[in-house]
Amino acid sequence: MLCICFLNTNRRIKIFKCIICNNFSFEIICKECQKKYLKPDIKIKINTVSFYRYDEIEWLVKYKYHRFGDRVFKILAENSFKIFAKNINEKFFVIPVDDRIKKGFSHTAILAKSMKNKFLTPLFNSLHSANNVKYAGESLEFRLNNPRNFKYLGPKNIDVILVDDIKTTGTTLNEAKEVLSQYGVNVYLSIVLADLS
């Protein structure tokens, strides 16, 4: 990814090469590619909302492991989570799953933050995994044998929307809901970029 910076009246302006089409842009994914490739296709399956087919955005989701991943996730969030949040007119807290900062940012915190409005309030640093095992690409059996052991530090007896990037087997969201229920936290809905289950 190429990034060119220059000063304009004491302001630093960044110009990127779009990671999809390679054209110059003020964003890491140009507006044209956002319109063409990041239009969400909302699906609801067992109280889980998803926006994209995983095979279409897999390579973008993997930017969560890279230094510029925060820019990619902000664009994904603005084209999906933020738009969806405008349709919610009841008060909920929004809890990102395991939003610890890695590589300088938290991808789930970015998704949750994009939903903030007069009805939705993100609760950061409230649901963290005590297990540092990597789950990417692992089987259901592995995930079941290595639970995340979530710890919840937020308020009790509230209604929430749970946010994660991908629902693969459903074990992460199910474990999170189970832990939250012990504190009287009602998960009204889970929202993910893509649902593979």
> Pairing mode, if any, of strands 127-129 and 150-152?
antiparallel
Select the CATH number that applies to the domain covering 38-195 from these four: 2.60.120, 3.30.40, 3.30.1490, 3.40.50: 3.40.50
Print pLDDT tens along the chain (197 aa).
555 554 455 667 788 899 999 999 999 999 999 999 999 999 999 899 999 999 999 999 999 999 889 999 999 999 999 999 999 999 999 999 999 888 789 999 999 999 999 999 999 999 999 877 676 666 667 767 777 899 999 999 999 999 999 998 889 999 999 999 999 999 999 999 999 87
pLDDT of 2: 52
Exposure string (b/e) for 178-188, b if CB count within 10 Å is 16 or more?
ebbeeeebebe
Spans of all domains in the chain: 1-35, 38-195
Tens digits of per-residue pLDDT, 62-111? Answer: 999 998 899 999 999 999 999 999 999 999 999 999 998 887 899 999 99
The confidence score (pLDDT) of residue 174 equals 94
What does the pLDDT read at residue 131? Answer: 78
Integer Cα distance of 172 and 150 in angstroms: 9
- Measured in residues, the chain has a length of 197
